[in-house]
Amino acid sequence: MNSFDIICIGSGMGSLTVGSLLSQFAGKRVLILERHFQAGGYTHAFARKNKKWHWDVGIHYVGDMQSGGFCRTLMDSITQKGVVWQKMPEPFEKFVYPGRTFSLFSGEDRFKADLCSQFPDEQKAIERYFQDIKKASALFGKSMMMKGRAPEREAMGVAVEGRKLYTLKEYLDYFFSHPDLKAILASQWGDYGLPPSRVAFATHAGLVVHYLNGGYYPDGGAGKIVDSVIPLLEKTGGTILTNVEVERILIEDGRACGVGVKFLRDGGRLQDFRAPTIVSGAGALLTYQKLIPEEFPVPFRESLDHFYQRERMATSLCVYLGLRESPASLGFAGENYWIFSSSDHEENFRRKNDWLSDFSDASNFYLSFPSLKDPQARNHTADVILFTDYDIFERWKELPWKKRGADYEAFKERIQNAVIDSVERRFPGFKALVEYAEVSTPLTNEHFTAHPHGAIYGLACVPERYDREKSPWFDVQTPVPGLYLTGADAGGSPGIAGAMVGGLATALRISGSRELLKEILKAA
């Protein structure tokens, strides 16, 4: 039982997509290997206190899940409609700034009208903005479907007066004047983890278009995705193994032919699994720098490392909260809150760690209520996410999970208390609802995902990422015959949807058939 048609490294959305589609539509026997004790990557969920409270670690909301939406159609095909998607209440997001709150409702017309009513002098630029984000998003989607790769950097720039605008900040500064309007348009930057000066405009455009029809949440939580995929793998003799760490990709006669693994709960037993096709959902950096043997020549190893060191992604803190009663008692209905200390997102990002120096007010954070989005939730929950830097936690990195010492636990407790107090300042009465709290740090991310420095979004979606000459590592096909990338790094954009599209691109490339896409969409 150690020989398969395809082996996928990691069980995140990219690998689940590849495994499900090629099992269903190509009859492939797929093995998915996961180092965590629970499958699903960032689609998995966890529970505490005898399963009283449940949280999702990666899915907080997903867009384009309306009936007929491309992501909905693709997800329905991957899961054979095993996941029910609940639309979030309206408004589904609130962007909170000092002196101004913008409520985001679903529907392009409503979004546009609300912007124009608050900023009537900038109506012409607002109209153009919606045209440009749809154009950029369509270019991205077409390139991924037809070529299995993100479009070239040059194709993604917005042309103005003989030059091109590549970053979101360049675009906003050129077309808009009011700082509050610029801030509102960039409010969802936490969904890709970069401030406007660094993120590619096309990445931002795809994200905004993704949510034009509102936000959705999986009924019963994100764990329903992997639960739906497992039986589809098993129909063709495939499976998912957990607690198995892939240590290396096996290469013979210049071609990938399997993986060498360590069983983490079987005395560290070593074993090889064989397949003519290997798919890595572990990310470009880990794949090229660790999993491919050093003796195999990869021409861009050094340049990839330089890119990562220069464009290192911020990681995150998450505070998971179990509540005594429904937060609806405070007026919450299930919408997301993006809380900012100013309309200058460059400053917000730059000062993301300031509050940790004295555990003062955490003035920039994301707040959501999973239990208000999920009809199956039996008890109420909240989570608060804040961006931070790995370096702050690095002194504990060599210590084992759950055994990092009293000073680490004390540090987390101070974080927890400061975050709860920060929410209380903005929503009086919130603190009294909190019955249970738990903090997840960048070390937690790194431990369970093996992502370097606990990065949650893969490599940075800066414009240089899409320059194929300078950044040739973001392609589904690797320099190793038989080895493919999948997930967010292959899909060109972060998040569950980006990883899913990356998985589709990988499946299409492996199959070598454009007709497969028609079959997949038709089946859904």
Report whether pLDDT(516) > 90.
no
Is 68 a member of any domain?
Answer: no
In a domain, residue 97? The reply is no
350 plus 385 within the same structural domain: yes
Residue 203 covered by a domain: yes
Q: Is 307 helix (H, G, I), strand (E, B) or coil?
A: helix
Task: Count other Cβ atoms within 10 Å, centred on residue 252.
Answer: 10
pLDDT tier at 394, thresholds 50, 70, 90:
very high
- Strand 315-323 versus strand 30-33 pairing type: unpaired
Q: Which of 510, 507, 1, 9 is nearest to 259 (CA)?
A: 9
Helices (H) and strands (E) in the chain, counts: 19, 21
What is the model's pLDDT at position 320? 97
Taking alpha carbons only, the member of 371, 373, 384, 376 closest to residue 323 is: 371
**Does residue 39 sit within a domain?**
yes
Q: Is the pLDDT of residue 145 over 80?
A: no
Asked if 339 and 437 sit in the same domain, the reply is yes
Pick the last residue of a domain from 432, 449, 466.
449
Residue 58 pLDDT exceeds 90: no
Mean pLDDT over 445-450 rounds to 88
Please, what sign has the CA dihedral across residues 64, 70, 76, 78? negative
Using the structure block, give the residue that is written with the tokens 């050094």.
302
What region does 228 belong to: left with phi over 0, alpha with psi -120 to 50, or beta?
Answer: alpha
Do 137 and 250 sit in the same domain of this protein? no
443 and 481 belong to one structural domain = no
The stretch 70-74 carries a mean pLDDT of 95
Mean local confidence (pLDDT), 146-155: 82
Clarify whether residues 363 and 434 are in a common domain: yes
Domain boundary among 399, 430, 449: 449
Residue pLDDT, tens place only, 105-121: 999 999 999 999 999 99
Residue 251, CA distances (Å) to 247, 270, 369, 480, 482 in order: 13, 17, 46, 8, 9
**Count of the separate structural domains present in the chain:** 3
Residue 442 within any structural domain of the chain: yes
Percent of the chain exceeding pLDDT 90 equals 83
Q: Are residues 138 and 195 in the same domain?
A: yes
Question: Does any domain span residue 93?
Answer: no
- The answer on 466 and 445 residing in a single domain is no
**Cα–chain center distance at 190:** 10
Per-residue model confidence as pLDDT tens digits over 195-254? 999 999 999 999 999 999 999 999 999 999 999 999 999 999 999 999 999 999 999 999
**Is residue 328 located within the same domain as residue 433?**
yes
Q: Provide the pLDDT for residue 517.
A: 82
402 domain-assigned: yes
The Cα–Cα gap between 180 and 174 comes to 15
Question: Can you give the pLDDT at residue 151?
Answer: 84
Most confident among 167-176, 262-271, 469-478 (mean pLDDT): 167-176
Of 95, 359, 103, 376, nearest to 219 by C-alpha is 376
163 and 271 share a domain? Answer: no
Contacts 24+ apart (CB under 8 A), 125-129: 125/175, 125/176, 126/181, 128/175, 129/175, 129/185
For the residues 25-31, what does the mean pLDDT come to?
A: 97
Per-residue pLDDT, averaged over 496-507, amounts to 93
Is the CB of residue 480 less than 8 Å from the CB of residue 250?
Answer: no
Range of lowest pLDDT (138-152, 319-333, 448-462): 138-152
- pLDDT for 388 equals 96
Residue 108: both structure tokens together: 């392009």
304 and 270: one domain? yes
* Dist CA 481 CA 206 (whole Å): 31
Q: What are phi and psi of 410, to 5 degrees?
A: -65, -40
pLDDT of 515 reads: 81
* Coil vs helix vs strand at 192: coil
Residue 449 has pLDDT above 90, yes or no: no
Give the mean pLDDT of 302-318: 90
Chosen domain end from 449, 482, 511: 449
pLDDT of residue 492: 76
Range of lowest pLDDT (147-156, 347-356, 381-390): 147-156
Task: Find the domain containing 278 and state its range.
Answer: 6-46+219-309+457-523
SS (H, E, C) 71-111: HHHHHHHHHCCCCCEEECCCCCEEEEECCEEEEECCCHHHH
pTM of the model: 0.95
Question: Which CATH number goes with the domain that contains 299?
Answer: 3.50.50.60
Q: pLDDT band for position 93 (50/70/90)?
A: very high
Both tokens of 471, joined, read: 């950044």
Supply the pLDDT for residue 513. 77
- pLDDT for 494 equals 87
Q: Is the pLDDT of residue 523 over 80?
A: no
Q: Per-residue pLDDT tens for 161-204?
A: 989 999 999 999 999 999 999 999 999 999 999 999 999 999 99
Give 524 or 370, the one with higher predicted confidence. Answer: 370
In degrees rounded to 5, what are phi and psi of residue 106?
-75, 155
Q: 267 and 151, same structural domain? A: no
pLDDT at 149 over 90: no
CA distance 115 to 117: 5
By percentage, how much of the chain surpasses pLDDT 70? 100
The pLDDT tens digits for 438-447 are: 999 999 999 9
Are 347 and 403 contained in the same domain? yes
Residue 84 confidence class, pLDDT cut points 50, 70, 90: very high
For 402-425, what is each residue's pLDDT tens digit?
999 999 999 999 999 999 999 999
Between β-strands 365-368 and 336-339, what pairing exists: parallel, antiparallel or unpaired?
antiparallel
Q: Is the model more confident about 492 or about 291?
A: 291
